[in-house]
Structure 1
């Protein structure tokens, strides 16, 4: 292994049941046990291998340094696995494929997956004061002061604000968003960059969006925290040619 690949922190975007994309991505990035892996959430709902993705991640955590952030789709999956709750919106936006991926699995596996999902973090702050969170937060004092915990996995205002801040506004200005000053950099998923006609990770101010639309027609991406080098899988429809993912039929 080349020295350049040692001791990296790799940030991985929304997977949405695309295990083939995840394994392909790891091969291309030459992921090793020297790397720290930070996953930004939404492991399920989309392609046909949601349960298999969770199984893979459970095994991965035994050999690699991993941090798993919880996404909104993961929260839906927890409700279903624990209480049998089938949210209509969830079912229509990938939940059906997740349920089908668990059909042939014993209850012991479902319980192991539920335990894994429940241990996921709402957010993580590293030693360099970088924040990793699925969606965002609204409090000017940071996510630890968030009034509504659902914002961790649902909020889009942080990303929308970061995209629209006038570049002429300096960080010292009282008009500069206070939320963005709390951290060195912020890494999110949740809002596919495909919405903006972009198929690679995007940056707005100090916010990086790593969700490149793997649930739809995009690719799964990971980014090297230090160098900002990006690796991507093939587009997901090419890896699952007989499926629709979360694309409309």
Structure 2
């Protein structure tokens, strides 16, 4: 059984379908989604509907991202953050125009089932952004860090690779888990178009919301697959307005 970890989708259903075709997913695979299913391309609501159907046949784990949290606020309480609106929220709202009341309830139930993070049998952590507590995410003081924290990735990326794990100065946060898989920070920020690795942290967000591709990675072999650039799949759209 493969464990495939999937990066931020941001409303790009065409990219997700293409990615699964290229990775040749099967019902024997475990699929771990790192969050940010909505906000960006025009099919945010359709992505959620697709994932709900996927969940019925496949072994899926769904992590909640910061864009999903914004969407939940709007769906449940009609809260429209101006920051959310200009960072993809407008396209998400438009995608929900044709969603029926019964399907809307299915979506709300789906959002409610999302996890803040997930730890597998091999002590691998899957989380949207990161955590700041030296005792792990379960001891995190602010739950918003699960979907917003970038310090974990920044620390892993800037570590001197000559420092070994048994060193007294190796970051304690990184020693808590075998490997850590995150999204949230596009690798495009570093002019890299493929999943990145720093220490034992793997970043699978390859910028599908902007001018990048949607990616998934096999955590055992580190083989990865990518969709086409989302701008190619949605030629008449702009994706998210800002990074």
Instruction: Tell me the TM-score normalised to structure 1 length.
Output: 0.96
- Structure-1 residue corresponding to 2:237: 243
Listed one character per residue, the Cα deviations across residues 139-184 of structure 1 (whole Å, up to 9, x for unaligned) are 0000000000000000000000000111222222221110000000
- Structure-1 residue corresponding to 2:117: 123
Matched, 1:11 2:20: no
* 1:154-165 superposed matches below 5 A: 154-165=148-159
Matched, 1:103 2:97: yes
- Structure-2 residue corresponding to 1:137: 131
The partner residue of 2:200 within 198, 202, 206 is 206
Structure 1 residue 107 displacement after superposition: 2.2
Matched, 1:49 2:43: yes
Matched, 1:182 2:176: yes
| Unaligned ranges ≥5, structure 2 | none
CA distance, structure 1, for counterparts of residue 183 and residue 151 of structure 2: 13
Matched, 1:112 2:106: yes
The partner residue of 1:67 within 61, 64, 67 is 61
| Unaligned ranges ≥5, structure 1 | 1-6
- Structure-2 residue corresponding to 1:77: 71
Retained in 1: the 8 A contact 2:159–2:199? Answer: yes
CA distance, structure 1, for counterparts of residue 38 and residue 142 of structure 2: 23
Structure 1 runs of 4+ with >3 Å offset: none
- Structure-1 residue corresponding to 2:221: 227
Retained in 2: the 8 A contact 1:216–1:236? Answer: yes
* 1:87-102 superposed matches below 5 A: 87-102=81-96
The partner residue of 1:168 within 152, 156, 162 is 162
Helix, strand or coil: the match of 2:156? Answer: helix
Retained in 2: the 8 A contact 1:217–1:247? Answer: no
Listed one character per residue, the Cα deviations across residues 41-84 of structure 1 (whole Å, up to 9, x for unaligned) are 00000000000000000000000000000000000011000000
Helix, strand or coil: the match of 2:213? Answer: coil
- Structure-2 residue corresponding to 1:218: 212
Instruction: Tell me the TM-score normalised to structure 2 length.
Output: 0.98
CA distance, structure 2, for counterparts of residue 222 and residue 104 of structure 1: 30
- Structure-2 residue corresponding to 1:33: 27
Retained in 2: the 8 A contact 1:193–1:200? Answer: yes
Helix, strand or coil: the match of 1:34? Answer: coil
* Count of residues in correspondence between the two structures: 242
CA distance, structure 1, for counterparts of residue 211 and residue 87 of structure 2: 15
CA RMSD in angstroms comes to 0.7
